[in-house]
Chains A and B, each alone.
Chain A
């Protein structure tokens, strides 16, 4: 398999590091995920790949030297909590009492009926209700676990970067709960798009630090701040892209989604899902659902990215149309131009707009374990309205991408196929965006 690597400016230090092509043998030693036990707080089987943090050729730790030691410390701490009952118990309790887990696996009767053909045949659609989590999305799963980890490490303050602000809001909320000082770095462009999220962060007591530009600038600045504060600061990542151990950590802390789904599927129909569908921005919610089932070869996994305006317009379909490079310390697919510069992306759903994607998903795509498709902004908006009307559930515009793909998927599925769609968040606050997308004479 040909891998074309480009040189990419690393946001954290602005240094260009040439990337050597790694081995062309894609090693299918991706670890099998068989060890899940009954409880929510069960630990995960240890990474078998000897090169830490690699998923085939993807992943790794493409960072400045000064970060190697803190990342190693984080990795050691993370590995130790995986087998620490006290930590697992604390996280499980917080997930239950604070976040509101487990989230239901909801049979969407009317949505399923919508996809029945004239013979009354069609798949059964189940919706995993991450929209019911505290904060309105799956993001809390990762944030709460990392905050507990930060406290365990004796850290007093948390630093993070946010794009549209949803991750920033989740971090600010959890820092309030755990009495951690919180700084959220956000690009001025993003602040203007979602000023209400900035208000929320400040309400929770976080310090909001604006930087000129967008998420790239925010991420660089937050890492810079972290480097200057390594003793008491904790960098809380909200994306599945980053240097090892971040992609693995974010995936593990979200994997409760898939674990619950397996248990609930057994309770409801005595089997596993046939198809899993999730939207992909950087891939956190998708990995959270998929990870549990990667070893189940009969479970199809479908990721849906943002096709933006469609046609030749701007989009954010990284896996479908990106190329391999290094982004934020990890080798992964990303949307880049001929010179290896990250290109401008767009989606009606702000959470889909990051130009990089999880290295693990990059690997799963390359090995054919997951299928990747795109839907346009309009298709996502239509899916948003469809779920409101049919089920009285308002999906986030991100999740609406996954729901939109059902239009193409369902006609191809056999009768009774069980589809689980991750409703990654609530779209209650997307109503404004939806309203402004409707032509004046219609609204």
Chain B
């Protein structure tokens, strides 16, 4: 993958950003996104796009999806006023913002990922596909995919890096219990990006019978748009709940960013609300200067990865730099193209948080609210330490609690004790 300097780079962000189609008909968000894929996949991608567009007016599909989100996934997820966390950020004069947590941790399978997995599984059934493939890092997306495949009676193959399989043996077992076949990937560094490449290879070979459930807002068009749309229920519910609770909108939205799906799910509803601040938090790992991080939007450069133009962590030869984060879900060297776009036009702000800061936040939420956040989510929570002192009294902050942290307790305790 070489550094791309395409003709698209001459495009400037238009002054009125709400007039920009996100994405446009070619699947681009400004210069980002697109469909950088082998010819064999072009037909499948346009078939997918056509099918997806048709869903917007398909009431049967909408009804079926709503029913599954309600009865199977457990939506709507609450918008929870975190009283003790809010108290923690009160200044000496008693002033400070109000912190609300959007409880995606309460979803079936414990994270936001299932929203997209059920949407895509239903879509796959519509397309008559009986075989599902997916990639997974630590196993969360794999477990979510295996879950929906069991529910919908679809054959499920999960690609996982051999190194990750060793580290996450119990998640491998869970996927098998759910009826999935887990295939080890030994190429490259035998981690997530290699599993993704292998999954894409499988899809190229089996495109007639197979649907690829991509787990984030990355990848070739229409995936970034589709995955965003299936997660957009997060933001839609938040608008309704904010209105019910305080008769207004949130002032600030905060979410962690790995590939960027939970953040897009929360942000999308509010992108055109100029008075709502959007803050994405990436993983700074051992620190931005250590070379061991996954802060793509802060330290990355524009290139093409997994079919989309976006920011990514690459060296001078355009080779992917192995990222690092204590949280597997943020340990991705790329980022969704729409985030790259939102950053470039200044609509969203992106910061990063180290492993250590995330671990402190993990412990903090557990102690103050009795909620164990995923380590991914902990990055967003950690940013509150820097954000809250700057916010006026009574500012309404909604933070996406994208997943629960039972899976991370062992890791966290090991690091917190050392």
Contacts and interface: CB of A to CB of B under 8 A. Distances in A.
A110 B372 CA distance: 33
A100 B104 CA distance: 10
Contacts of A203: 363, 366-367, 372, 409, 412-413
Given A106-B72, A177-B84, A97 B151 contact: no
Interface string B374-418: 000000000000000000000000000000001001101100000
Interface string A374-417: 00000000000100111111100000000000000000000000
A300 to B, nearest CB: 23
A148 B367 CA distance: 18
A394 B151 contact: no
Q: Name the 9 nearest CB pairs between A and B, nearest first.
A: A173-B370, A392-B150, A392-B147, A176-B370, A100-B106, A177-B370, A392-B151, A132-B74, A104-B71
Interface in A92-110: 96-98, 100, 103-107, 110
Given A200-B372, A389-B179, A443-B173, 18 more contacts: A97-B78, A97-B79, A98-B80, A106-B72, A110-B151, A129-B71, A129-B74, A132-B106, A133-B106, A134-B106, A173-B371, A175-B370, A176-B369, A177-B369, A199-B410, A204-B367, A392-B147, A392-B150
Contacts of B406: 136, 200, 428-429
12 contacts: A100-B106, A105-B71, A129-B108, A134-B106, A134-B371, A173-B370, A175-B370, A196-B409, A199-B410, A203-B409, A392-B178, A434-B177
B409 A199 contact: yes
Given A105-B71, A132-B108, A389-B179, A428 B370 contact: no
Contacts of A393: 108, 147
Which of B70, B177, B368 counts the most chain A CB atoms within 10 A? B177
A172 interface: yes
B143 to A, nearest CB: 9
Interface string B125-144: 00000000000000000000
A261 B96 CA distance: 41
B413 A431 contact: no
Contact of B103 (A100, A200, A428): A100
Contacts of A390: 150
A205 interface: yes
A290 to B, nearest CB: 22
Contacts of B367: 176, 203-205
B171 to A, nearest CB: 9
A129 B71 CA distance: 9
B405 to A, nearest CB: 9
Nearest to A133: B106
Nearest to A177: B370
Interface in A422-443: 428-429, 431-432, 434-435, 443
A174 interface: yes
B80 to A, nearest CB: 4
Contacts of B106: 100, 132-134
A245 B146 CA distance: 45
B116 interface: no
A176 B371 CA distance: 9
Nearest to A171: B370
Nearest to A384: B177
A389 B80 contact: no
Nearest to B75: A104
A314 to B, nearest CB: 26
Interface in B334-382: 363, 366-372
Interface in A177-220: 177, 179, 196, 199-200, 203-205
B174 interface: yes
Contact residues on A (Cβ < 8 Å of other chain), bracket: 35 or more
Contact residues on B (Cβ < 8 Å of other chain), bracket: 35 or more
B359 to A, nearest CB: 11
Interface in B173-231: 173-174, 177-179
A199 B413 contact: yes
A129 B70 CA distance: 11
Contacts of A204: 366-367, 370
B88 to A, nearest CB: 11
Contact of A98 (B71, B78, B177, B179): B78
A106 B366 contact: no
Given A204-B366, A392-B149, A429-B406, A179 B177 contact: no
Which of A104, A172, A179 counts the most chain B CB atoms within 10 A? A104
B148 interface: yes
Given A173-B370, A176-B368, A435-B170, A104 B74 contact: yes
B384 to A, nearest CB: 17
Contacts of A172: 370
B78 A100 contact: yes
Nearest to A109: B151
Nearest to A203: B366
A100 B77 contact: yes
B248 interface: no
Interface string B148-179: 11110100000000000000001001100111
Interface string A19-32: 00000000000000
A100 B74 contact: yes
B329 interface: no
A165 to B, nearest CB: 13
B110 interface: yes
Given A196-B409, A392-B146, A431 B72 contact: no
Interface string B54-76: 00000000000000001110100
A422 to B, nearest CB: 15
Nearest to B110: A428
B81 interface: yes
B63 to A, nearest CB: 14
A420 to B, nearest CB: 13
A209 B291 CA distance: 44
B72 A104 contact: yes
Nearest to B174: A431
A236 to B, nearest CB: 14
A176 B366 contact: yes
Contacts of A136: 406
Which of B72, B173, B369, B413 counts the most chain A CB atoms within 10 A? B72
A136 B173 CA distance: 20
Contacts of A389: 150, 177-179
Given A132-B74, A132-B108, A391-B150, A428 B372 contact: no
Interface in A68-98: 96-98
Contacts of B173: 431, 435, 443
A98 B371 CA distance: 9
B86 to A, nearest CB: 13
Contacts of B74: 100, 103-104, 129, 132
B177 A391 contact: no
A189 to B, nearest CB: 22
Nearest to A103: B74
A105 B70 CA distance: 9
